[in-house]
Amino acid sequence: MLIIEPGHPLDAGPRALLEQSHHLMTTLFATRENYFLGFEALCAPKVHFLVARDGTEFLGTAAVVDKGDHGEVKSMFTSPAARGRGVGAALMRAIEDHARTLHLPVLKLETARELPEAIRLYAHHGFTECDRFGDYIPNQTSCFMQKLLD
């Protein structure tokens, strides 16, 4: 049974998934085009970190950073072995629900144009492309998206 719950990025299961994600991103993109949060940054008080698991098997991670006027989705990753099982969708719903409890009016995210599966997931959940935000550096790789929350 799929369980979505708060987790800690330094625990063994979530850390292993984050290491996979970081490795993938550094393989696909130049350093200046990688915006993933490091382990310590994911432990900050304004970061709300969630995990997806089935029993003791960790399947995915996601976080929302409370930026005050919006939440930013970070560290969204599903284990390759768990893809196609609804893990990403379940994490996305949980992130949205959690953002609403924080009274955040909008969720924003940065992903890469070369990750069409991620873009499709976000679009399926009501995200649309938007202008660059925050302190992201302009590049040809990033795709910025947002979703207004009710």
pLDDT in tens, 66-124: 999 999 999 999 999 999 899 999 999 999 999 999 999 999 999 999 999 999 999 99
Model confidence pLDDT, tens digit, residues 37-48: 999 999 999 999
Give pLDDT, residue 119.
97
Write the DSSP assignment of 70-94 as a string of letters.
-EEEEEEEE-GGGTTTTHHHHHHHH
Question: Which pLDDT value is given to residue 82?
Answer: 92
pLDDT value of residue 144: 98
Between CA 12 and CA 25 the distance in angstroms is 20
CA distance 52 to 55: 10
SS3 136: coil
| pTM of the predicted model as reported, rounded to 2 decimal places | 0.94
66 backbone dihedrals φ, ψ, rounded to 5° = -80, 105
Q: How confident is the model at residue 150, as a pLDDT?
A: 80
Q: DSSP letters of 24-43?
A: HHHHHS-GGG--PPPTTGGG
How many percent of the chain have pLDDT more than 90? 93
